[in-house]
Amino acid sequence: MGGASRSEKSRKQAANQRLAAAGITPKQSGPSGGTRIALIVVAAVVVVAGVIGYFVIHNRQSTTPDYAVAASGTVVTAGKSDAPVTVDVYEDYLCPVCERFESRYADDVTAALNDGKIKVNYHSTAILDSLTTPPGYSTLAANAAL
Protein backbone atom coordinates (compact mmCIF):
# COMPACT_ATOMS: atom_id res chain seq x y z
CA MET A 1 0.00 0.00 0.00
CA GLY A 2 1.46 3.38 -0.95
CA GLY A 3 2.06 6.23 1.47
CA ALA A 4 -0.91 8.26 0.19
CA SER A 5 -3.25 5.30 0.66
CA ARG A 6 -1.95 4.65 4.18
CA SER A 7 -2.36 8.25 5.24
CA GLU A 8 -5.89 8.36 3.76
CA LYS A 9 -6.79 5.20 5.67
CA SER A 10 -5.27 6.60 8.86
CA ARG A 11 -7.18 9.86 8.39
CA LYS A 12 -10.49 8.00 8.00
CA GLN A 13 -9.82 5.85 11.05
CA ALA A 14 -9.00 8.92 13.16
CA ALA A 15 -12.16 10.69 11.96
CA ASN A 16 -14.28 7.64 12.83
CA GLN A 17 -12.68 7.46 16.29
CA ARG A 18 -13.52 11.14 16.92
CA LEU A 19 -17.11 10.54 15.78
CA ALA A 20 -17.40 7.48 18.02
CA ALA A 21 -16.00 9.48 21.00
CA ALA A 22 -18.67 12.13 20.36
CA GLY A 23 -21.40 9.44 20.45
CA ILE A 24 -21.98 9.47 16.69
CA THR A 25 -21.99 6.16 14.89
CA PRO A 26 -19.27 6.27 12.25
CA LYS A 27 -20.22 5.49 8.69
CA GLN A 28 -19.58 1.87 7.84
CA SER A 29 -17.17 1.21 5.02
CA GLY A 30 -18.42 -0.79 2.07
CA PRO A 31 -20.25 -0.15 -1.13
CA SER A 32 -22.51 2.89 -1.13
CA GLY A 33 -26.07 2.77 -2.45
CA GLY A 34 -24.94 4.04 -5.86
CA THR A 35 -22.19 1.44 -6.01
CA ARG A 36 -24.65 -1.34 -5.13
CA ILE A 37 -27.00 -0.23 -7.91
CA ALA A 38 -24.12 -0.13 -10.38
CA LEU A 39 -23.09 -3.66 -9.37
CA ILE A 40 -26.67 -4.90 -9.81
CA VAL A 41 -26.89 -3.26 -13.24
CA VAL A 42 -23.56 -4.80 -14.31
CA ALA A 43 -24.71 -8.23 -13.09
CA ALA A 44 -27.99 -7.87 -14.99
CA VAL A 45 -26.16 -6.88 -18.18
CA VAL A 46 -23.86 -9.90 -17.85
CA VAL A 47 -26.84 -12.23 -17.39
CA VAL A 48 -28.69 -10.75 -20.40
CA ALA A 49 -25.54 -10.96 -22.55
CA GLY A 50 -25.09 -14.59 -21.51
CA VAL A 51 -28.68 -15.47 -22.44
CA ILE A 52 -28.34 -13.71 -25.82
CA GLY A 53 -25.01 -15.44 -26.43
CA TYR A 54 -26.54 -18.83 -25.63
CA PHE A 55 -29.35 -18.35 -28.15
CA VAL A 56 -26.98 -17.04 -30.83
CA ILE A 57 -24.70 -20.07 -30.43
CA HIS A 58 -27.67 -22.45 -30.23
CA ASN A 59 -29.19 -21.07 -33.45
CA ARG A 60 -25.83 -21.16 -35.24
CA GLN A 61 -25.36 -24.82 -34.33
CA SER A 62 -28.84 -25.72 -35.57
CA THR A 63 -28.19 -24.18 -39.00
CA THR A 64 -25.01 -26.07 -39.82
CA PRO A 65 -24.86 -27.18 -43.44
CA ASP A 66 -25.37 -30.79 -44.50
CA TYR A 67 -22.31 -30.64 -46.73
CA ALA A 68 -18.56 -30.39 -46.21
CA VAL A 69 -16.73 -27.06 -46.47
CA ALA A 70 -12.95 -26.83 -46.91
CA ALA A 71 -10.49 -24.08 -47.81
CA SER A 72 -7.42 -24.56 -49.97
CA GLY A 73 -5.47 -21.36 -50.50
CA THR A 74 -8.00 -18.76 -51.60
CA VAL A 75 -10.59 -21.27 -52.83
CA VAL A 76 -13.39 -22.45 -50.55
CA THR A 77 -14.98 -25.71 -51.66
CA ALA A 78 -18.47 -26.65 -50.50
CA GLY A 79 -20.16 -29.95 -51.14
CA LYS A 80 -19.30 -33.60 -51.56
CA SER A 81 -16.10 -34.33 -53.45
CA ASP A 82 -17.86 -36.92 -55.64
CA ALA A 83 -20.73 -34.61 -56.67
CA PRO A 84 -21.60 -35.04 -60.38
CA VAL A 85 -21.44 -31.29 -61.15
CA THR A 86 -18.80 -28.73 -60.12
CA VAL A 87 -19.71 -25.05 -60.14
CA ASP A 88 -16.96 -22.42 -59.97
CA VAL A 89 -18.11 -19.06 -58.57
CA TYR A 90 -15.80 -16.06 -58.91
CA GLU A 91 -16.96 -13.24 -56.69
CA ASP A 92 -15.88 -9.91 -55.28
CA TYR A 93 -17.53 -9.26 -51.92
CA LEU A 94 -18.13 -5.62 -52.89
CA CYS A 95 -19.60 -6.40 -56.33
CA PRO A 96 -23.32 -5.57 -56.65
CA VAL A 97 -23.76 -8.07 -59.51
CA CYS A 98 -22.18 -10.80 -57.38
CA GLU A 99 -24.58 -9.86 -54.59
CA ARG A 100 -27.56 -10.18 -56.96
CA PHE A 101 -26.34 -13.62 -58.05
CA GLU A 102 -26.05 -14.68 -54.40
CA SER A 103 -29.49 -13.29 -53.53
CA ARG A 104 -31.16 -14.90 -56.54
CA TYR A 105 -29.53 -18.35 -56.46
CA ALA A 106 -28.44 -18.91 -52.83
CA ASP A 107 -31.41 -21.13 -51.95
CA ASP A 108 -31.06 -23.21 -55.14
CA VAL A 109 -27.31 -23.66 -54.63
CA THR A 110 -27.79 -24.59 -50.96
CA ALA A 111 -30.50 -27.13 -51.83
CA ALA A 112 -28.30 -28.70 -54.54
CA LEU A 113 -25.36 -28.83 -52.10
CA ASN A 114 -27.50 -30.49 -49.43
CA ASP A 115 -28.77 -33.04 -51.98
CA GLY A 116 -25.21 -33.84 -53.11
CA LYS A 117 -25.97 -32.76 -56.69
CA ILE A 118 -23.21 -30.14 -56.94
CA LYS A 119 -19.88 -29.11 -55.51
CA VAL A 120 -19.08 -25.37 -55.50
CA ASN A 121 -15.63 -23.82 -55.65
CA TYR A 122 -15.83 -20.23 -54.41
CA HIS A 123 -12.99 -18.07 -55.76
CA SER A 124 -12.62 -14.72 -53.98
CA THR A 125 -11.51 -12.01 -56.38
CA ALA A 126 -10.60 -8.38 -55.86
CA ILE A 127 -11.74 -6.68 -59.06
CA LEU A 128 -13.03 -3.57 -57.27
CA ASP A 129 -9.93 -2.81 -55.18
CA SER A 130 -9.01 0.30 -57.17
CA LEU A 131 -12.55 1.72 -56.93
CA THR A 132 -12.66 1.89 -53.14
CA THR A 133 -11.38 4.72 -50.97
CA PRO A 134 -8.79 3.92 -49.81
CA PRO A 135 -8.01 1.22 -52.37
CA GLY A 136 -7.97 -2.37 -51.16
CA TYR A 137 -11.37 -3.03 -49.59
CA SER A 138 -12.16 -5.93 -51.93
CA THR A 139 -8.99 -7.71 -50.84
CA LEU A 140 -9.76 -6.98 -47.19
CA ALA A 141 -13.29 -8.35 -47.58
CA ALA A 142 -12.01 -11.51 -49.31
CA ASN A 143 -9.43 -12.08 -46.58
CA ALA A 144 -12.03 -11.54 -43.86
CA ALA A 145 -14.35 -14.05 -45.52
CA LEU A 146 -11.61 -16.67 -45.67
The answer to whether residues 87 and 120 belong to one domain is: yes
Residue 92 in this model has a pLDDT that exceeds 60: yes
Who has greater pLDDT, 7 or 69? 69
Tell me what pLDDT residue 113 has.
93
How far is the C-alpha of 72 from the C-alpha of 48, rounded, in Å?
Answer: 39
Asked whether 136 and 100 are in contact (CB, 8 A), the reply is no
Mean pLDDT computed over 54-75: 74
The answer to whether residues 59 and 73 belong to one domain is: no
Mean pLDDT computed over 50-78: 76
Q: Which CATH number do you get for residue 80?
A: 3.40.30.10
How many structural domains is the chain composed of?
Answer: 3
| Residue 93 DSSP one-character state | T
- Phi, psi torsion values for 45, nearest 5 degrees: -65, -40
How far is the C-alpha of 123 from the C-alpha of 71, rounded, in Å?
Answer: 10
Domain of 97 in residue numbering reads as 69-145
Mean pLDDT computed over 117-145: 88
The answer to whether residues 104 and 132 belong to one domain is: yes
How far is the C-alpha of 74 from the C-alpha of 95, rounded, in Å?
Answer: 18
The answer to whether residues 83 and 122 belong to one domain is: yes
The answer to whether residues 74 and 52 belong to one domain is: no
pTM score? 0.54
Tell me what pLDDT residue 27 has.
60
